[in-house]
Amino acid sequence: MIVSINKLKTFFNKKEKQKLTLLFFMMVIAAVLETIGIGMIVPLVGIVTNPSVIKEHYLLIYIYELFNFSSTSAFMVFSVLALLSIFILKNMYLLLFNYIQYKVILNQQVKLQGQLFKKYLTRPYIFHLNRNTSTLLRNVNEEVARVCQGIVLSAFQLLSEILIILFIFILLIVTSPIATITASFLLGGSVFIFFRVFRNKISSLGKELQSVNGTLIKWVNQGLGANKEIKVLGKENFFINSYTNQSLIKIRNSRYIKILEVVPRLFIETLLVSVVLITMLIIIFQGTNTTQLVSTMALFAMAAFRIMPSINRVVALITNIKYSKPALDVVYEDLFLNKDSITESGSNGTLSSFKLSQRTFNQSIELENVFFKYPNQKNYSIKNVSLTIPTGKSVAIIGESGSGKTTIVDIMLGLLLPEKGKVIVDGVDLHNQISLWQKKIGYIPQTIFLSDDSIRNNIAFGVDTININDDQVWKALEQAQLKDFVLSLPEKLDTSVGERGVRLSGGQRQRIGIARALYHNPEILFMDEATSALDNETEMEVMKAIDNLKGQKTLIIIAHRLSTISNCDIVFKLKQAQIVEVEYQNNSSIPRLLGNMGVN
Ligand SMILES: Nc1ncnc2c1ncn2[C@@H]1O[C@H](COP(=O)(O)OP(=O)(O)OP(=O)(O)O)[C@@H](O)[C@H]1O
C-alpha cells in the first residue's frame, strides 16, 4: 500500500500535487455539506411532527425571533425552504467539484500517456527488440487510463465516500450511540470479511485482464497485419479462434468482477434493512418518546439512504483499485525504472561543443575492436570487428545470411551500443554525438514502413505538412526513379498509399523508402538490401541514381547481388560475426571474392 502510494506520487509534479491537495480540501467541504444536508432532517422532522418544539428549543426560539416570524407555519415553510436551498447549493457544489476532479485527473492521464509514448519512442533500439508492440500499445492506451481512472480517480472517490460515511457516523453517534456502534460493527465487519475472502482473487483477476488485453491486441495486429498470408494459407479460423478464446477469458474475467461488485450491494442492502429495523427496536426498548423516535428514525433512514450507496461505492472502488493495481506497476516500471544509458548519453554527451547544422563529417567512420551480443544470446553477432570507412566512399558489406551484416550496420547507425570497442566518427565517439549523427545519415531498410497517408507525407516522414518542401520531394522522387510514376497519378503527391502502402507495388514501396532517405539530403546513406525487392531493370535504374550520389555522399550498402556492389569502392566480407576479407574497387580480385561467397 505505502509502496503503491510512493509510486503514485512520482506521477505528479509539485504543481499537480498542489492541485490534488486543493481537490482534497474541496472534497472535505463536499462531505461536510452532505452531512449538514442529512443533519438538517432531524430538526425538520421534529418541527413537523411537533410544532411546539419551535417555542421550546433555545436555538429555534432565537431564529424565530431573529426573522420575526408571525406564526409557526411560516417558520415551517422557512425551514423547508432552508433545507431545500442547502440541498440545491450542496448539489451545485458537488457538480463543480466533480467537474474539477475529472478535469485534473483526466488531464493527468493525457500527460502520462504522452510521457509513456515518448519514453517508448526514445528508448534504445535494443529495448524494442525485446518488447512486444502489443504490450507497449496496451500500456499507452489502456494501462495509463487504468492508473488514472481505476486508481487515482477511484482513490479520490473512495476518500470522499469514506469522509461522508465518517461524518454521518459522527452525526449518528451523537444522536444514538448504541444503535450506531452496533450498525457500524455489522457493516464494517461484513465489508472487512468480504475483502479478506476476495482480496487475492481480485488481484489475480486484475493481472489476468492485463495479460489478456495485450494478447487480444496481438491477435488483432497479427491477423490484420498478415492478412494476405493468412488468406493464401486459409488460416483465418486459427486467428479468429485464438482471438475468441482470449475474448472469452476477458468476458469471464469481467463477469466475475462485475458479480463481485454486485454481491456486496445485495448483501449490504439486506444487512442495512435489518440494521434499521434492529435499531428501531433498540430505540424503542431504550424508552425514547414518539417524537424523538420518529425524528431519530428519519435520521437513520436518511442516513441509510445516503450511506447505502456510499458503502456500495466504497466496496466497488476498493475492488477497482485492487483490480487496477497491476497497471500501476507496469506503467511505473516503464516510466521510471529501467533507465538505460544509451539514449541519455546520446542526447546530451558532448553535443553542445558542436554547431549542429554547420558541421559536416569529412574524415572517416571507424569501428575499433567492436563486440556485440544480443540480450540473452550466447554467441557474439559481431566479434572483434575493426574497419575504416573514409567519408565520400561507397562501401558494400557482404556475407552469408546470419553473418552479422544488419547488426554491424545497426551499430554504425547508433541503434545498438557495442558491448566492447568503439564506433568513432571523425575522431569522436559516435554515442557522444548521436543527435548530430542522426541529422546527417539516411537509412533505407529492407522493408519500408509506409503510413496510411499521402506520398508527400510518406517521403517527408515526420515533418509537418505545412513545412514540407515539395521541390525537395520531387527531387528525391527523381533520384529514386519514381518521379514519372507519381506524375502519372491523378492526385500526384496527394495520392494516398493505403495502409502499409497496399496501393503500391513492392518495388514502388521500396523506392518511396529510398526517396524518404534522400529527402533530407543525408551525408551518409545506409542501405540494407534496399533494392533486393526490385526487378533487375528497376534495380539498375535505382542503383544508377545511387551511383550518381557517389563522391557526394558516403554510401554503406548491405548487398546480395553482384550488380549492387560492383561499383563500390570497398567491399567488406563478413563471416560468422567477423570481417574476413576487405577488397578495394580497383583490385581485380573483387569479382573472385564475390564469386566465393554466394553472391548472386
Ligand atoms: N534481435 C535479435 N535477437 C537475438 N539475436 C539476433 C537478433 N537479431 C539478429 N540476431 C542474431 O545475430 C546474428 C546476425 O544477424 P544479422 O541480422 O546481423 O545477420 P545478416 O547477416 O544481416 O543476415 P541476413 O542476410 O539474413 O539479413 C544472427 O545469428 C541472428 O540470429
Q: Which domain CATH number covers 19? A: 1.20.1560.10
Q: Give tens-digit pLDDT for 564-583.
A: 677 788 888 888 889 888 88
| Residues 217, 83 within the same domain | yes
More confident residue, 186 or 29: 29
- Establish whether residue 129 lines the binding site of ligand 1, counting it when its CB lies within 6 angstroms of any ligand atom: yes
List the beta strands (DSSP E) in 430-491: 441-444
Cell 533520384 belongs to: 479
Give 533's pLDDT tier (boundaries 50, 70, 90): low
- Could you tell me if 303 and 360 lie in one domain? no
Q: What is the CATH number of the domain that holds 434?
A: 3.40.50.300
Find, among 58, 51, 326, the residue nearest to 208 by Cα.
Answer: 326
Ligand 1 pocket, 22 CB below 6 A? Answer: no
CB 400 within 8 Å of CB 593: no
Of 339, 359, 394, the residue at which a domain comes to its end is 339
Instruction: Give the whole-number percent of the chain exceeding pLDDT 90.
Output: 7
Note the pLDDT of residue 339.
Answer: 56
Q: Report yes or no on 345 lying in a domain.
A: no
pLDDT digits (tens, 9 = 90+) for 116-156: 998 888 888 888 887 878 788 889 988 999 999 999 999 98
Query: Is residue 6 a part of any domain in this protein?
Result: no
Q: Which three cell numbers stand for residue 208?
A: 489476468
> Of 309, 339, 369, which residue sits at a domain end?
339
Q: 235 and 283: one domain?
A: yes
Q: Which atom of ligand 1 is nearest to the CA of 446?
A: 27
Residue 397 falls inside a structural domain: yes
Cα 140 to ligand 1 centre (Å): 29
- In this structure, the residue with its CA closest to atom 6 of ligand 1 is 374
Ligand 1 contacts CB of residue 578 (under 6 A): no
Q: State the sign of the Cα–Cα–Cα–Cα dihedral 341, 365, 542, 459.
A: positive
ipTM: 0.96
Out of 381, 415, 556, mutate this one to test ligand 1's pocket (max ligand atoms within 8 Å of CB): namely 381
In tens, the pLDDT along 331-356 reads 998 888 765 544 433 333 333 344 44
- The answer to whether position 311 is within a domain reads yes
What is the phi/psi pair of residue 378, to 5°? -85, -40
CB burial of residue 136 (10 Å; 0-12, 13-18, 19+): buried
Euclidean distance between CA atoms 285 and 522, whole angstroms: 92
Task: Find out whether the beta carbon of 125 lies less than 6 Å from any atom of ligand 1.
Answer: no
Residues 513 and 397 in one domain: yes
Q: Which is nearest to 571 in space by CA: 365, 393, 364, 380? A: 393
Closest alpha carbon to 315 in 196, 207, 173: 196
Pair (358, 404) in one structural domain: yes
φ, ψ for residue 429, nearest 5 deg: -55, 130
- Whether 4 is covered by a domain: the verdict is no
Find the 374 Cα to ligand 1 centroid distance in Å: 9
The DSSP string of 79-130 is HHHHHHHHHHHHHHHHHHHHHHHHHHHHHHHHHHHHHHHHHHHHS-HHHHHH
Asked whether residue 526 is domain-assigned, the answer is yes
Question: Which residues make Cβ contacts (< 8 Å) with residue 135, sequence separation at least 6?
Answer: 214
Please tell me whether residue 285 adopts helix, strand or coil conformation: helix
Same domain, 216 and 285: yes
Cα angle, residue 209 at apex, residues 204 and 212 outer, rounded to 5°: 125
600 Cα to the center of ligand 1, angstroms:
20
- For ligand 1, whether the C-beta of 374 sits within 6 Å is yes
- 453 & 560 share domain: yes
Last residue of a domain, one of 314, 339, 364: 339
Q: What is the pLDDT of residues 183-218, one digit of tens each?
A: 778 777 877 888 788 878 888 888 888 888 888 888
303 and 154 share one domain? yes
Distance 289 CA to ligand 1 centre (A): 89
Whether the predicted model's global pTM rises above the 0.90 cut? no
CA–CA separation, 245 and 212 (whole Å): 10
- Can you tell me which atom of ligand 1 is nearest the CA of 410? 18
CB 403 within 8 A of CB 581: no
Average pLDDT score, the chain = 80
Looking at the structure, do residues 223 and 360 belong to the same domain, yes or no?
no
**Residue pLDDT, tens place only, 288-328:** 666 666 766 766 776 677 677 787 788 888 888 888 888 89
Q: Which residue CA neighbors atom 1 of ligand 1 most closely?
A: 129
324: containing domain: 13-339
Q: Judge if the beta carbon of residue 551 lies within 6 A of ligand 1.
A: no
Structural domain tally of the chain?
Answer: 2
Number of neighbouring beta carbons within 10 Å of residue 74: 13
Q: How far apart are CA 591 and CA 575, in angstroms?
A: 18
- Sign for the CA dihedral angle at 73, 75, 78, 83 comes to negative
5 inside domain: no
- Render pLDDT for 469-480 as a digit per residue (tens, 0 to 9): 889 999 989 888
Residues 261 and 382 in one domain: no
d(CA 397, CA 593): 12
DSSP state, residue 381:
S
Please check whether residues 275 and 368 belong to one and the same domain: no
pLDDT tens track for 410-467: 999 888 889 899 899 888 888 888 888 888 888 888 778 887 788 998 888 877 788 8
| Shared-domain flag, residues 301 and 374 | no
Q: Is the residue at 344 inside a domain?
A: no
- Does the C-beta of 401 come closer than 6 Å to ligand 1? yes
